[in-house]
Amino acid sequence: MTDVLPPVAKSFHTLCKKCEVERYHKVLTHTSATSAKIECEVCHSKKTYTIPKAGSSMAKKATTKSKTGVVKPRAKKNSHADEYGALMLNRGAEKGTPFSIKTKFKNDEKIEHGKFGPGFVKAVQPDRVDVMFSDEVKTLMHNKV
């Protein structure tokens, strides 16, 4: 196997994808130490020829294999994200009530918090509400006059 490019203006035999057979290709120019612009002598299609590196394709395959082999365990931690994701999926387009500690919120109400973003009321107490935001449930004051 050769690891040197054929010289410019010389022809060598390699597969032409357009002709779908091996054709003589003329080297037009070297684009790097390992690749060259070549032209099929039959159909005149131009392409970049790169010297195949021994072992590189094998290494790539091995990397892909190890990546696909990894299965993420389903952690309990995800349940919050799952619930919030489901709420956003169903009610993401709903207009939330802008959050203010002066407003009295109802259970299951969607709110829009200036800092935490969209949230859903999970529990209501006279002066506090538990609101589910994307990262956690926060207890906020409300109904303050």
Question: Containing H/E element for 121?
Answer: strand 117-124
CB of 14 to Zn ion, least distance (A): 10
Q: Is 81 in the site for Zn ion (CB under 5 A)?
A: no
**CB closer to Zn ion, 23 vs 110:** 23
Residue 138's Cβ-count burial label (10 Å; 0-12, 13-18, 19+) is middle
Enumerate residues 6+ apart whose C-beta is below 8 A from 98.
Answer: 111, 112, 114
**Of 17-25, 29-37, 85-93, 108-116, which segment contacts Zn ion by CB under 5 A?**
17-25
3-class secondary-structure state, position 69: helix
Among 43, 81, 101, 141, which residue interacts with Zn ion (rule: CB under 5 A)?
Answer: 43
Q: Is 16 in the site for Zn ion (CB under 5 A)?
A: yes
Q: How would you classify the pairing of strands 11-16 and 21-30?
A: antiparallel
Among 3, 10, 13, 18, which residue interacts with Zn ion (rule: CB under 5 A)?
Answer: 18
Q: What are 38's strand-pairing partners? A: 27, 47
Enumerate residues 6+ apart whose C-beta is below 8 A from 103.
Answer: 97, 142, 143
**CB closer to Zn ion, 23 vs 142:** 23
CB of 44 to Zn ion, least distance (A): 7
**Of 6-14, 35-43, 91-99, 110-118, which segment contacts Zn ion by CB under 5 A?**
35-43
CB of 67 to Zn ion, least distance (A): 36
Q: Is 59 in the site for Zn ion (CB under 5 A)?
A: no
Rounded CA-CA distance 31/117 in Å is 52
**What residues make contact with Zn ion under the rule CB under 5 A?**
16, 18-19, 23, 40, 42-43
